[in-house]
Amino acid sequence: MAYEIKPKSLRLLKEAGLPQEFLAILKSLKNEKYPTQKLFMEAIYSIADNVLIESYKPMILQHAETSGRFNGESYVEFLTQLLAYYKGKIILIEDGVPVSWKRCY
């Protein structure tokens, strides 16, 4: 997953009750895309109060989550999130592998 504060994110956060002063702070990050949750949260922690962030973190993450291409770090973070959420077995299917590498078993 990637994270980005879009105009829609700000509108949804406002409707969800995020304080106006916090919305103004988040607006400074508008349209900046972060490939991982860690980088996104580091950017927010660098500009806002920790107590305020912790109060609204789940809401912010929910409305800022967007699709993005995986890189090594974001893929590991994605897998870590999956493993934390699902307790059963997970089957990963890699897409985008050159046809010459694919085999049928």
Average pLDDT over residues 42-70: 90
pLDDT of residue 7: 95
Q: What is the DSSP string of 33-101?
A: EESSHHHHHHHHHTTS-HHHHHHHHHHHHHHHEE-----HHHHHHHHHHHHHH--S-------S--GGG
Q: What's the pTM?
A: 0.66
Give me the pLDDT at residue 96, please.
62
Other beta carbons less than 10 A from residue 3's beta carbon: 25
Sequence spans of domains, the chain: 2-85
The stretch 43-70 carries a mean pLDDT of 89
CA distance 65 to 60: 8
pLDDT value at position 92?
Answer: 73
Q: Pick 94 or 104 by higher pLDDT.
A: 94
Give the pLDDT confidence score for residue 25 in this predicted structure: 95
Model pLDDT, residue 105: 46
